[in-house]
Structure 1
Amino acid sequence: MRLVASYLSVMWGGLRRLFRGPDYPPVTVRLPWRRLDVLAPGAAGLALVGVTVATAQYLIDSRSLPALTAVVIAVLSVLPLPFLLRRPLWAWRIMFLGQLFGTFNRQHDEVWPWSPLQVVVILLVLLVVGARVDRAVLGWMALLTLIPVWIFVGPNNVGGITVLFVVVALVAEVVGRIMRSRSTLSARLAEQSEVSELEKARRTVLEERTRIAREMHDVVAHHMSMIAVQAETAPYRLPDLPEPARAEFTSMATAARQALTDMRRLLGVLRSEDGEPLVAPQPGIDDIPELVTAARRAGVRADLDVSGGEPPPEAVGLAAYRIVQEALANASRHAPGAAVRVEIRPWTADLSVRVHNGPPAAEPAGSAGAGHGIAGMRERVSLLGGELVAGPAPDGGFAVAARLPYAPPPEPDAGGSGG
């Protein structure tokens, strides 16, 4: 009993929606040529006017109808067509109204009590709209469309015409099911692709962070080694040190050595199983000219402008080198043939790095990518507490500008300032 009640509720909901809505969302059709998108509405409107006039004339000639009545029936016959894609339920409602009025003053020897245009429109609306609506609405639509057939079509032809309408409705159901399945599949694929892209971006950022941490290990390890050596040799270089000072230098050396050991353990965690140990010294700002020269040998029209000044800390120089390296790689990949200018400006408290490439002289060979290189730059700059701006330039090229402070930003006072 509950199953029957549920079935009746679904059918009643389909009937209500058929006549009261809400209608189904519109469908936008993109033509392959932009000029056709502009010309198609006007051409379609002229075609509808011409078909309406021809249908009215047919009704006047074949049924001896008054001109006004023939025009009204002709308009009702054509009017569903503009609603097919944007308001499918309204297209069927207008078609059904025209189907009822289209039999006015019909001839008894007519197999179809409607004009040839109305026959085509009825079948087209039943097929196109039926493919978009759900099954309950389609059932009522097919049944109500058949009622005028059973009333006005002669007994010799009603059976065949009924079969034709039922076949069209079944085809609409199958086409609609295929369309909905493809739409659902496309939505799931798009969602999965978006998730995969997000996961790829997260993985790239994590890999870049690991790479930065491994590079920074060598920089920090160098400083810690110097601290340990200086703390160990200080008592020998200063023989008159009191015993408490000697003990403090020994404690500093022991702490530095322990920190180095802990850092090596941390590096072992960060390094992948097949990763090679970093034995070469990390590049710095002094290696950027060689980097630009290598880019020139690879065909990049690169120009370097470096201002004089105090050398920055090793971590800042390493970050500047990697930023220039990634920017040059992006320029060669996405702007082939473009001129690239690299500017390095050491200031009193920070280092300014700017890489600008002009518009590409040729089409890039590959895709534009997802911008993970920019994400890696941001990670490096953020680690130092600096700022990075990357985006299109006014001349149609692309610019990357970074400010790398020499000292980390001061930490906010958690307890607030007292007074």
Structure 2
Amino acid sequence: MPATPAPRRRLTPLRDLARLLAGADFPTAAPAPGTLPARLQPWLAPPGVLAIAVLTVVCVADFQTSRAPFGAAEATLLSLGATAPLLFVLWRPLIAWRIAYAGAFTSTLWLDRTSGAWPWPVIQMAVVVLVLGVAAARTSAGITAWIAVLAALPCLLHAPGGTGIQVWLPLAGVLLLGDQVRRRTRVERILEAQEEITDLARAQRAVLEERTRIAREMHDVVAHHMSMIAVRAETAPYRLAALPGPARDEFTAIADAARDTLTDMRRLLGVLRTNRDDPQRAPQPTLADLPTLIATAADAGMPITLDTGAADPAPPEPVSLAAYRIVQEAVANAGRHAPGAAVRVSVRSAEDSLHVTVANGPAPAPHTAPARGPGHGLLGMRERAQALGGTFTATPSDGGGFTVAARLPTRSGPPVRP
């Protein structure tokens, strides 16, 4: 069944008229602090008010001398209605139009049309033209149309010598020009927004292409070598038939570790190849998996102990994941740089934070770690801690050991800048 078209908004012209007469205005945005307009605004306000006062005095004299029979009170009131819109025209165009229109309409009704005198001084006409142009450039097309219709009333009511239409046509031209300025400004803003969207899309595409290239390189190099390690470890018991039972178990453990690494590698490659902010991924390890990590390290021959302290409620998932990864990397560094050294892992909960400490003693025998180039283990641990608003330290300890300590807040807080 075809969708029923939405009903047209027939009351839109009436809503525009209601807003024009007594509705919300179109306020302009304040200048940005520190910019030239913001700095000049306090200095320009007093001269502007003084200029408006001078124009008001000139209008009073004009009303009294050229547009009799206006008295002093009537001339002052009409002059204020003629110049007061200048106080609001740049900030509240509808308020300025209401004051200017009331002043012009009052001048038309107040003056005797049989006298043949022109009801509006030159200053008032200039202010009306300025207000109409700004209002048309700042408001909507419907409101501009109503302004044009209402502007014809005082012109046709006075119409000295049949000149009402001749007065209204220039005002309509000013409104048309202001409306064109508004439309052009709107088109320019739309184009600027489209350019920003295009630049953002281009940047996102470049990032995605770079991530795809990294994922491809990791798949072609790292995943290939890990696959070879897993295959050789799995086939070693069959290729080397005389292996004792413990050696077979060791090869089996190596194959299982290689397979787990490949699984994590595939998950990481999937994250790199997608452009989603919330990529689908398998459950991440938490503090509950620490005993398994410690047991695996102990099975590999590392003298390692785990102290989890009091059994407090589980921390948030990001904190738990960060703590696990920090312990994982610190234990791997201890095994790489101080093989055979005793390692003590401590994870304790405080009132609003989680304290993670991994300390190892010196290696029982002199050892030089194989050259692998500059690593990123300590940097990655520090970034994980600081991303959560915590702190991280990695310092040598007395006796030749090394201590890694991290404090991870378990409550929301601002991150610490690196």
Question: Which TM-score band (shorter chain)?
Answer: 0.5 to 0.7
Name the CA distance, whole Å, in 2 between partners of 1:257 and 1:113.
100
Distance 1:210 1:322, change over 3 A: farther
The number of equivalent residue pairs is 295
Amino acid at match of 2:84: L
Q: What CA RMSD, in Å, does the superposition of the two structures yield over aligned residues?
A: 5.2
Flag the 1:217–1:91 CA change in 2: closer, same or farther, 3 A.
Answer: same
Matched residue, 2:349:
none
Any residues of structure 2 matched to 1:357-372 within 5 Å, and which?
Answer: none
Residue of structure 1 aligned with 2:91, choices 75, 86, 98: 86
Asked if the contact 1:138/1:169 (under 8 Å) is kept, the reply is: yes
Corresponding residue number in structure 1 for 2:42 = 38
SS at match of 1:56: helix
Q: Which residues in structure 2 correspond to 1:247-266 (within 5 Å)?
A: 247-257=245-255, 260=258
1:261-310 CA-to-partner distances (Å, cap 9, x unmatched) read: 8868958x9599xxxxxxxxxxx99xxxxxxxxxxxxxxxxxxxxxx977
Moved more, 6-15 or 186-195: 186-195
Q: CA deviation at 1:162?
A: 2.5
TM alignment of 1:174-189, pairs within 5 A: 174-189=180-195
Q: Partner letter of residue 25 of structure 2?
A: D
The alignment status of 1:116 with 2:122, answered yes or no, reads yes
SS at match of 1:78: helix
- Partner of residue 101 from structure 2, selected from 88, 96, 102: 96
Give the aligned partner of residue 338 of structure 1. Answer: none
The answer to which of 191-200 and 130-139 deviates more is 191-200
SS of 1:145's equivalent in the other structure is helix
Q: Which residue in 2 is equivalent to 1:145?
A: 151
Match for 2:52 among 36, 45, 48? 48
Aligned residues of 1:84 and 1:128 also touching (Cα < 8 A): yes
- Amino acid in structure 2 at the alignment position of 1:127: G
Residue aligning to 1:297: none
The verdict on how the C-alpha distance between 1:23 and 1:126 changes in structure 2, with shifts beyond 3 A counting, is: same
- In structure 1, what is the Cα distance between the partners aligned to 2:193 and 2:156? 42
Matching residue's letter, 1:97: A
Q: Contact conserved, 2:97 with 2:132, CA < 8 A, in 1?
A: yes
Paired position in structure 2 for 1:70: 75
Q: Per the alignment, do residues 208 and 69 of structure 1 end up closer, same or farther by CA in structure 2, a change over 3 Å counting? A: farther
What is the identity, as a one-letter code, of the residue corresponding to 1:162?
Answer: W
Q: 1:26 is paired with a residue of what secondary structure?
A: coil
- Equivalent in the alignment of 1:318: 375
Partner of 1:23 in structure 2? Answer: 25
2:73 is matched by which residue type in structure 1? L
Distance 1:156 1:312, change over 3 A: farther
Q: Which moved more, 1:253-262 or 1:12-21?
A: 253-262
Residue by residue over 1:117-149, the C-alpha shift from the partner in whole angstroms, topping out at 9 and shown as x without a partner, is: 110111111111012222222111111111100
Asked whether the 8 Å contact 2:132–2:174 carries over to 1, the reply is yes
- Unaligned runs of 5+ residues in structure 2 are 273-332, 335-360, 384-392, 409-413
Farther off after superposition, 204-213 or 127-136: 204-213
Give, in whole Å, the separation in 1 of the partners of 2:99 and 2:37.
32
- The 1:90–1:197 alpha-carbon spacing in structure 2 relative to 1, beyond 3 Å, is farther
Q: How many angstroms does 1:50 deviate by?
A: 1.7
Secondary structure of 2:91 counterpart: coil
Q: Counterparts in 2 of 1:253-332, with a 5 A limit?
A: 253-257=251-255, 260=258, 318-320=375-377
Rounded Cα–Cα distance in structure 2 between residues aligned with 1:309 and 1:124? 84
Partner deviation per Cα, 1:87-128 (whole Å, 9 max, x = no partner): 222221111101112233368444x42011110111111111
Change (3 A) 1:187 1:106: farther
Q: In 1, distance between residues paired with 2:201 and 2:147?
A: 40
Contact kept? 1:56, 1:70, Cα under 8 Å: yes
Give the whole-Å Cα distance in 1 for the aligned partners of 2:221 and 2:87. 65
CA distance, structure 2, for counterparts of residue 219 and residue 352 of structure 1: 33
State the Cα distance separating 1:256 from its structure 2 match. 2.2
Q: Which one-letter code corresponds to 1:345 in the other structure?
A: T
Q: Which runs of no fewer than 5 residues in structure 1 stay unpaired?
A: 237-244, 273-283, 286-307, 327-342, 354-380, 382-387, 392-399, 401-419
CA distance in 1, matches of 2:92, 2:37: 25
Asked if 1 retains the 8 angstrom alpha-carbon contact of 2:89 and 2:131, the reply is: yes
Identify the residue that residue 131 of structure 1 maps to in structure 2.
Answer: 137
Q: Which has the higher contact order (CA 8 A, sep 6+)?
A: 1
CA contact (8 A) 1:127 1:172 kept: yes
| CA distance, structure 1, for counterparts of residue 116 and residue 95 of structure 2 | 32
Whether 1:168 and 2:156 are equivalent positions in the alignment is: no
Which shifted more, 141-150 or 27-36? 27-36
Determine the structure 1 residue equivalent to 2:396. Answer: 346
Q: For residues 155-194 of structure 1, give each alpha carbon's deviation from its aligned partner in whole angstroms, at most 9, with x where no partner exists.
A: 3423322221221222122112112222333344445556
Whether 1:10 and 2:16 are equivalent positions in the alignment is no
CA contact (8 A) 1:346 1:352 kept: no
Q: For residues 56 and 209 of structure 1, do their structure 2 counterparts lie closer, same or farther at Cα, with a shift above 3 Å needed?
A: farther
SS of structure 2 residue aligned to 1:23? coil
Tell me the amino acid that sits aligned with residue 160 of structure 2.
Answer: G
Aligned-pair CA distance for 1:219:
12
Q: Name the CA shift for 1:89/1:351 in 2 (closer, same or farther; >3 Å).
A: same
Q: CA deviation at 1:206?
A: 8.4
Other-structure match for 2:61: 57
* Distance in 2 between residues matched to 1:312 and 1:352, nearest whole Å: 22
In the alignment, the residues of structure 2 paired with residue 352 and residue 313 of structure 1 have an alpha-carbon distance, to the nearest angstrom, of 25
Rounded Cα–Cα distance in structure 2 between residues aligned with 1:33 and 1:59: 36
Equivalent position of 2:111 in the other structure: 105
SS of residue matched to 2:163: helix
Q: Is the 8 A contact 2:229 2:255 kept in 1?
A: no
Aligned-residue offset at 1:315: 10
Note the alpha carbon deviations across 1:346-389, whole angstroms, 9 max, x for none.
35664479xxxxxxxxxxxxxxxxxxxxxxxxxxx9xxxxxx97
Contact 2:230 2:258 (C-alpha < 8 Å) held by counterparts: yes
